[in-house]
Amino acid sequence: MSCKQEKNLLNNSTDKLKMAYQIKQEEIDKHKQHLVTLEKELIVIRENIVKNCQHCWVYESPAVYERGYYYCSECGIAK
């Protein structure tokens, strides 16, 4: 095989790898966009849970060098 043929094969292989890399990068970007959408939906759901909760406040005893605090045992929000 001549040097020119080897170089062409290497370039073809590199081009295929670059294309595969680009395709995977686009898939990752698409999944990231989907994750952002799902996270926004979760935030809205969480806000609705807190808004509709009757709140049963419970005191959490402090650990060493920490302050105690109240939180809702139903929805988990801190007072």
Per-residue pLDDT of the chain (79 residues; tens, 9 = 90+): 566 666 666 677 788 888 999 999 999 999 999 999 999 999 999 999 999 999 999 999 998 888 999 999 999 999 8
CA distance 45 to 48: 5
Neighbours of 31 (CB within 10 A): 10
**pTM of the predicted protein model:** 0.64
64 phi/psi in degrees, rounded to 5: -60, 130
